Every structure is written in C-alpha cells, then in structure tokens.
C-alpha cells in the first residue's frame, strides 16, 4: 500500500487539501467538486502517511448513513478497517460522549433520548399543569421555542424576557421543562448538544483528555452547523488541534432550523492562519446540468462566489414537462423511470425529489399502480405519517366502533381531558367484559362507573364519533373526511404546531382530502369509506421496499443533501410550491429556497427531469400555478420542453381516471382542443353535465379560461 493510491485519484487542489500540513483547513467549494471525497482521502492520508492513530480522528457527517459510507470508503482505500475512530453526526457523537461521562454531565446513568413526539407530549403536560390555555401557548410553539434556545446555547436562566408577560411565561415553561427532564432522566436532541458543550466548559479535565485525544477533527457540510455545534467544535479544537472543514455556502439549507452560514466566515476569523482551498472542477454532472445549477444560483446576492466547471460532455438537455395536473405529472415521471429501466438503469439509480412531503402521495400511488418498488428516504410514507394515521383512525372508528386500535389512538387526540387513569379503567372493563373499548365505555356510562368529569369527556367523545359515523353515511367520502377533520379538531390541532413541521402536517391533511376526492374503489365493496380505509391500510403496509430490493428513491430536497444519482426527477417546480409560498413572505427565505434548488439540480449525474402541474389540488383547493421562477433562471439552451403525448406512449385518455371524467361533452381531460377565437389549448377540467357542462381550457396564448360547453364549439385537434 503506498501513497499513490490515496493521491492519484485526485486533482491538484484536492491533493493540496488532502496533504495540507496547516492546522486549520477550509475547503470551500461547489456541489460535486469532491469535498466529501477530500475528507475521506484526508483521513486515509493521516492514517497511512502521517501515521496518526485512528483514535485521534473524529469526523462529523450530516447523517448516520453518511457516517457509514465514510467508514466503508476509508476501509476500501486502506484495505483495513481502522479501529477507534469516531465518525458520526453531531448528535451521535455528543450522545456517545455523554454516555461515558453521565455523572460529570449531571445525568442519570441510563438517561433516555426524548424524540420529538415524546418531547411534544411532555411539553403539553407542562402547559396543562400550569393551567395555561393551549390556544395561547401552543405546545408546538413551546417546543420550537425551547429547541431554538438550546440551539443557540441558552438555558432558561439565560433567556431575557424583557419583562414581557408572554415571554416570561414561556421562560417559566422552559425552566419547568428542564426540571421535568432532569427528574425523569430524559434528554432531547438539542439537549445532547448543549450538555456536551457544557461538559467541555465545566469539566476542564475531561475537555483536556479529549483535546489530547482528538488531534484531528474533520467536518462535512460545514455550512449547516448551528451555533452550539460550532461552539462545541471550537472548544474541542482549542488552539492546538488540527481541524479540516468542507462546505458550500450555496448549499446552506437549514437556516430555518438555526444553521448559520456565517460560521464559514467565522471559521477563518477564529482559527488563525486557515488555509482556504477552493475546488472548482465538478465531477458529478454533465455540462448542461452544471450550467443550469450555476445560472440559478447566480441570482442570489451576497455569495462567497466560486466557479464550477466540468470537462464532462454537455449531455442531454434538461427535460421540462408540464403536466396538466399532478396525476399526469406522476404518470410522466413513472413512464420515464420505466423507460430508463428498459435502458438498463437500476431503479436505485433514479431518485424523485420534491419540496414538500405531501407531494409524495400522488407519486407513490402511481408507482404502486405500476408495480415499481420505491423507498422513501429519511421520511415516512404518506399513510404512515402521524397526522394521517390520526384522521384515518377517526374514520375507522366511525365506520366500526369496536376498532380498539383506532379508539386508543384518538380517545385523547386532540387532548380532551381523558387521562390515562380513565383509559385504564376503560381497558380494564373491556378486559373483564371481554368486549371492545367502545362497549366498555357504554357500560361504564350506563352505570356512571367513572368520575363526573371523565364521564362527560367520554360521553363527548362518543357523541363526536357518532356524528362522524352519521356524516360518513350521509355525505360523499370527501365531504365526510372534511367533516371529520373539522369536527375532531385535528386540522386546528396540527395547524397550531409551529414551523415547517406544522405546515407539513396541515399540507398532508389537505392532501388526504385530495386522496378521498380522487378515490375510485377498484373493488365492488359497497361502502366507499370501507374501500378507502382498506386501500389506506394496504398502502401503509409493507409495500415499502426493504433495504435490499432495488427501488426508486423518493425524498425531500432537504434529505437529498450530499447524495448523487444518475437520474433525478425534480417534481413540482412551480411557483408557491417551490419556491414555497411561505418563503415569499419572510426575508432571506427565497434565497434559501434557491439554494435548495441548487442542491436539487446538482444531485443529478447524467439526466435531470423537471416537472410541474398546470393545475394541482393543494391545500384542498384547485390551484393554477405557473412554472417556478427557478426554471426560468435556467438558460434556454439547457432546457428542452417535452410535450404531452410525445413521451407517453399509452393513450392518455385510457389512463385518466379523474373524478370528473365521464361527462357527455365528448371531450377528455388533457385533450388538445381548438377554439375559434382563443386558438389551441388543453382541457384542464370538466364540470357539470349536458348543457350545464363547463370546461376549463388552458389556451396556449390566452391562458386558462372556463367556457360553457354548449357555446364553446370546441373541436378536438
Ligand atoms: P456535495 O456538495 O454534493 O456534497 P461533494 O463536493 O462532496 O458534493 P463528492 O460527493 O465528494 O462531492 O464528489 C462528487 C462525485 O465526483 C463523486 O462521485 C466523486 O467520487 C467524484 N469525484 C470527486 N473528485 C474526483 C476526481 N478527482 N476524480 C474522479 N472523480 C471524482
Ligand atoms: Mg459532499
């Protein structure tokens, strides 16, 4: 084994970065320029050439998966597996540290990690214990508040409430939360980082030990570190250790969660004599894809600025597809996937990326229908998501009152004052009588077998379920689902959650309404609700491909960071969806959306597809969005619009199963038509029957219009 194995597969600046003898090295470079590769080779270099002990190396990656990959690549290069290295995420490393020093960190020996659902439950309990109103002190907002302060390194005692009454209460709650966690030996994600930082500050002997040990620190995706992570690193590195960080200011996409691009600037200031190395050659993407990425990101002001070029060929132009709705968009994507498979690509070499989680449903359905295995990376499938499970549980309970699992799930969700003790009494009764929880409630009510308060609450809950049942029998599936969302208060409940997550949940709930609206049972089950619930249960079942099956990868743009795929589909490139509507209202957010777009485009190696829908059910409404401004920022020479039919070999009409199909206008959705005044256009929508039928057409020149079918004299072309 000699040095050439490590340096030969690198270009000049990469070699310089790998073998640099400076104490602090900052590699600042664009996507796909080999930053992660430099880190891996630098570790190998340290081990092989500098003969440092693996135990003196700590490498920080962005995900656990990336950590695993990094270890694998190092072993491959060295042909041995080095022992004693610490490679992991900030959270993982902090956890490891705290486990070894629980006493010094003021923790209990078997402290538990509180995941964010547990945290929410805890916060909720505290709000109640303080007799506060959840509509004013929303649990989600408090959770967001606590985590935000922790990410900035502030405990409750550090927060200045400026004598503001609301803020004072929040600080009080934060303090109560800290105490409750300490009492029960629980540690949330932010706490891991904060404690680990405090361990450095409070226990110099321990810090000293680790400073002596970890003489080489290496950090990937440095642009997305937050304040506390940076502070932790800074202290560990001290004045004597070696630290190499790699990052790209253009790929900073976690500002909304406290990440600080400024840390890049800070780094050169804090670590004297930093060697700054820029990598400019991209090895991942074709010329076209790179041009597009460079042009889009050029629209952001205040960049550190860098050139990125490739000597790869131009490659195929980026394909842009305008679906007439989201189903059509999904069909296009799936058709292209099948095409590439027939062209000898694996499914796992293709990835579908999207801005919002809720977009996955339509794509998932189309993949299922076509029998294509898929995996959702770093997220849950639609029907597995908490908020969706909640509504589905209400529907199930309304349909069959004896469904105990559904009962358990929603008896106190949203909270309605039915505590654990009451639920325990109900369970016990059900066990004794050998009946369902619902029947047990009926028995308890009849005998007044609960406290007065519990009786009222349980009675209220049962009445609610009966109302939902009645609505399900009386209304269409969609209207019934809407009724349940409102009556159960789930929409408001999840809507109160703050931040990106709350928005995602509401989007998902609205998406469920879309699902019910578009639902067409393919069995002859007489109850559409029953058929829908069965479908949802099956979808939530085991269709997700396991780790060993070849499967298409689906993920949000945020989860795609650092990854690469031969073929990438970027779905939903339309205004309001991407850039997300919210980003237009907050300063600085549009730039972050653009960086997210840059991340998305640069995941693609040889083929990139962009697609959008001219009309889309979103937030429960039909929306007509124009193509994303980011697409318009791509030079025309890199883009090729693919038209309907040109790429779909199956006849469209046979594939369309839209709720408003089957009208007697003689026209079909997606069909091209001619109008004597407006010219040619595409049928987007058909409503009503016979002489009342109205047709929406998106005219090539005049845009979208509603026309009365009887007078429009549309001709198919
Ligand atoms: P990102 O910003 O997306 O995280 P990155 O800068 O970390 O990207 P890498 O993932 O390290 O880039 O590299 C991108 C691709 O280019 C990888 O497939 C890598 O193996 C390849 N690559 C990097 N440098 C070279 C090189 N000198 N020769 C050949 N291939 C290279
Ligand atoms: Mg990388």
Does residue 656 have a pLDDT over 50?
Answer: no
Residue 532, beta-bridge partner list: none
Residues 415-428 have a mean pLDDT of: 91
Residue 82: CB partners within 8 Å, gap ≥ 6?
47, 54, 74, 75
The pLDDT value recorded for residue 599 is 97
* 310 pLDDT tier (thresholds 50, 70, 90): very high
**pLDDT over 70 for what percent of the chain?**
92
pLDDT score recorded for residue 497: 78
pLDDT greater than 80 at residue 413:
yes
Task: Look up 36 and say whether it is catalytic.
Answer: yes
Residue 692 pLDDT level (bands cut at 50, 70, 90):
low
pLDDT in tens, 676-690: 888 888 887 777 666
Q: What is the pLDDT of residue 689?
A: 64
Q: Tell me how far the alpha carbon of residue 573 lies from the centroid of ligand 2, in angstroms.
A: 24
pLDDT (0 to 100) of residue 530: 82
pLDDT value at residue 119 = 81
End-to-end, the C-alpha distance of the chain in Å comes to 69
pLDDT band, very low/low/confident/very high, at 117 (cuts 50, 70, 90):
low
Give the contacts of 494 (CB within 8 A, at least 6 positions apart). Answer: 387, 502, 505, 506, 509
pLDDT band, residue 321 (cuts 50/70/90): very high
Find out whether 663 and 688 touch, Cβ atoms under 8 Å.
yes
pTM of the shown model: 0.75
**Do the beta carbons of residue 39 and residue 246 sit within 8 Å?**
yes
Question: Please, which residues have CB within 8 angstroms of residue 710's CB and are 6 or more apart in sequence?
Answer: 691, 693
d(Cα 231, Cα 263) in Å, to the nearest integer?
10
pLDDT at 653 over 50: no
In tens, the pLDDT along 427-461 reads: 899 889 988 899 999 999 999 999 999 999 999 99
Q: What angle do CA 615, 620, 621 make, to 5 degrees?
A: 40
The residue from 375, 409, 595, 603 that is catalytic is 603
User: Do residues 506 and 558 lie in contact, with contact meaning Cβ atoms separated by under 8 Å?
Assistant: no
Least confident of 49-63, 221-235, 687-701: 687-701
Work out the pLDDT band at 501, boundaries 50, 70, 90: confident
Q: Does position 608 have pLDDT exceeding 60, yes or no?
A: yes
Residue 334 has pLDDT above 90, yes or no: yes
- Nearest CA to 599 out of 46, 116, 206, 62 is that of 62
Given the residues 151, 188, 191, 220, select the one marked as catalytic.
Answer: 220
Return the closest-CA partner of residue 381 out of 400, 402, 403, 358: 358
User: Which residue among 251, 327, 425, 696 is the active-site one?
Assistant: 251
Of the pLDDT bands very low, low, confident and very high (cuts 50, 70, 90), residue 300 is very high
- Nearest Cα neighbor of 256 from 148, 159, 339 is 148
Report the alpha-carbon distance of residue 525 to residue 528 in Å, rounded: 7
Contacts of 269 (CB under 8 A, 6+ apart): none
Please give the order of strands across the beta sheet that includes 24-29.
86-88, 57-60, 216-219, 242-247, 24-29, 275-279
Pairing assessment for the beta strands 242-247 and 24-29 based on DSSP bridges? parallel
Q: Between vectors from CA 362 to CA 358 and to CA 363, what angle results, nearest 5°?
A: 100
Is residue 709 pLDDT above 50, yes or no? yes
Nearest-CA neighbor of 573 among 504, 523, 629? 629
Q: Report the mean per-residue pLDDT for the chain.
A: 88
Region 668-683 average pLDDT: 82
Say yes or no to pLDDT of 637 above 90: yes
Q: Among 133-142, 178-187, 425-434, which is the least confidently predicted range? A: 178-187
Q: How confident is the model at residue 655 (pLDDT cuts 50, 70, 90)?
A: very low
Q: How far is CA 705 from the centre of its chain?
A: 35
Active-site residue identified among 151, 191, 198, 221 = 221
Atom of ligand 1 nearest to the CA of 31: 2
User: What are the tens digits of pLDDT across the range 616-634?
Assistant: 988 777 888 899 999 999 9
Q: Give the whole-angstrom CA distance, residue 214 versus residue 228.
A: 19
Give the pLDDT band of residue 538 (cuts 50, 70, 90): low
Q: What is the pLDDT of residue 700?
A: 80
Who wins on pLDDT, 710 or 423? 423
At residue 156's C-alpha, the angle toward residues 153 and 157, to 5°, is 95
Closest residue CA from atom 4 of ligand 1: 562
Per residue in 82-111, pLDDT tens?
Answer: 899 999 889 889 988 998 999 999 998 877
Distance in Å, CA 476 to ligand 1 centroid:
53
Contact 146, 190 (CB under 8 A): yes
Q: What is the structure's pLDDT at 379?
A: 61
Q: What percent of the chain has pLDDT over 90?
A: 58
| Calpha distance 546→565 (Å, rounded) | 19
The neighbouring-strand residues paired with 309 are 281
pLDDT in tens, 190-228: 999 999 999 999 999 999 999 999 999 999 999 999 999
State in Å: Cα 79 to ligand 1 middle: 21
- Residue in this structure with the two tokens 């991340």, named with its chain if needed: 599
Longest dimension (CA), the chain: 86
> Lowest mean pLDDT: which of 295-299, 596-600, 670-674?
670-674
Please say if the pLDDT value at position 380 is more than 80: no
Q: What is the predicted pLDDT for the residue at 341? A: 94
Q: What is the pLDDT of residue 548?
A: 64
Ligand 1: list residues with CB < 6 Å: 9-11, 14, 29, 31-37, 248, 251, 283-284, 562, 564, 602
Taken in order of first residue, the domains within the chain and their CATH numbers are 3-101+193-281 (3.40.50.300), 113-184 (1.10.10.160), 318-381+543-641 (3.40.50.300), 387-520 (1.10.486.10), 657-716 (2.30.30.390)
pLDDT of residue 259: 85
Mutate to test the pocket of ligand 1, among 17, 34, 561 (most ligand atoms within 8 A of CB): 34
Distance between CA atoms of residues 176 and 126, nearest Å: 7
Structure tokens at 335: 């058709």
């Amino acid at each position: 084994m000699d040095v050439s194995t490590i340096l030969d597969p690198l270009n000049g600046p990469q070699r310089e970065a790998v073998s640099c003898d400076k104490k602090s090295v900052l590699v600042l470079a664009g996507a796909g320029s080999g930053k992660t590769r430099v880190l891996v080779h630098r570790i190998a270099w340290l081990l092989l050439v500098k003969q440092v002990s693996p135990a003196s190396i700590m490498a920080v990656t962005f995900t656990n998966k990336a950590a695993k990959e990094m270890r694998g690549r190092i072993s491959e290069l060295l042909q041995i597996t080095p022992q004693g290295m610490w490679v992991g995420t900030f959270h993982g490393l902090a956890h490891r540290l705290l486990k070894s020093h629980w006493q010094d960190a003021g923790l209990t020996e078997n402290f538990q990690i509180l995941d964010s659902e547990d945290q929410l439950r805890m916060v909720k309990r505290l709000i109640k214990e303080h007799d506060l109103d959840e509509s004013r002190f929303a649990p989600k907002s408090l959770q967001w508040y606590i985590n935000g302060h922790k990410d900035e390194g502030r405990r409750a005692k550090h927060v200045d409430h400026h004598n503001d009454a609301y803020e004072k209460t929040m600080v009080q709650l934060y303090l109560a939360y800290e105490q409750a966690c300490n009492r029960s030996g629980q540690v949330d994600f932010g706490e891991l980082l904060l404690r680990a930082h405090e361990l450095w500050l409070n226990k110099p002997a321990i810090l000293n030990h680790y400073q002596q040990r970890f003489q080489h620190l290496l950090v990937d995706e440095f642009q997305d570190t937050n304040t506390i992570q940076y502070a932790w690193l800074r202290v560990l590195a001290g004045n004597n250790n070696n630290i190499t960080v790699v990052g790209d200011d253009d790929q900073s996409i976690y500002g909304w969660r406290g990440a600080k691009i400024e840390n890049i600037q800070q780094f050169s200031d804090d670590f004297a004599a930093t060697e700054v190395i820029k990598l400019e050659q991209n090895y991942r993407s074709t010329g076209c894809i790179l041009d597009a990425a460079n042009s889009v990101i050029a629209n952001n002001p205040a960049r550190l600025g860098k050139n990125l070029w490739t000597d790869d060929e131009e490659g195929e132009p980026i394909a842009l597809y305008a679906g007439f709705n989201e189903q059509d968009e999904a069909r296009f994507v799936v058709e292209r996937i099948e095409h590439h498979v027939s062209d000898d690509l694996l499914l796992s070499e293709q990835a579908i990326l999207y801005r919002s989680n809720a977009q996955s449903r339509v794509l998932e359905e189309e993949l299922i229908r076509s029998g294509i295995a898929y995996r959702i990376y770093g997220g849950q499938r639609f029907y597995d998501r908490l908020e969706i499970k909640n509504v589905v549980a209400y529907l199930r309970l309304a349909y069959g009152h004896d469904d105990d699992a559904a009962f358990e799930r929603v008896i106190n969700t949203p909270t309605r004052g039915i505590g654990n003790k009451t639920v325990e009494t109900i369970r016990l009764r059900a066990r004794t009588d050998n009946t369902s929880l619902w029947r047990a409630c009926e028995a308890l009510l009849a005998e007044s077998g609960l406290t007065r308060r519990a009786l009222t609450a349980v009675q209220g809950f049962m009445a609610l379920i009966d109302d939902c049942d009645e609505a399900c029998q009386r209304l269409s599936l969609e209207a019934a689902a809407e009724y349940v969302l409102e009556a159960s208060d789930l929409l408001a409940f999840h809507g109160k959650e703050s931040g990106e997550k709350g928005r995602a949940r509401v989007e998902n709930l609205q998406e469920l309404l879309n699902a019910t609206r578009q639902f067409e049972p393919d069995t002859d089950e007489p109850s559409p609700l029953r058929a829908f619930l069965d479908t949802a249960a099956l979808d939530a079942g085991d269709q997700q491909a396991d780790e060993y099956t070849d499967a298409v990868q689906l993920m949000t743009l945020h989860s795609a960071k650092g990854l690469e795929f031969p073929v990438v589909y970027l779905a939903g490139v339309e205004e309001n969806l991407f850039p997300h509507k919210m980003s237009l209202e907050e300063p600085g957010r549009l730039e972050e959306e653009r960086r997210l777009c840059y991340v998305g485009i640069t995941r693609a190696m040889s083929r990139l597809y962009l697609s959008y829908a001219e009309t889309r059910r979103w937030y429960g409404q039909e929306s007509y969005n124009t193509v994303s401004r980011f697409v318009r920022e791509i030079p025309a020479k890199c883009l090729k619009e693919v038209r309907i039919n040109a790429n779909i070999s199956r006849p469209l009409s046979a594939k369309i199963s839209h709720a408003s199909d089957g009208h007697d206008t003689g026209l079909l959705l997606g069909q091209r038509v001619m109008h004597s005044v407006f010219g040619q256009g595409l049928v987007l929508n058909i409503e009503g029957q016979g002489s009342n039928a109205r047709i929406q057409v998106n005219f090539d020149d005049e845009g979208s219009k509603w026309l009365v079918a009887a007078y429009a004299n549309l001709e198919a072309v």
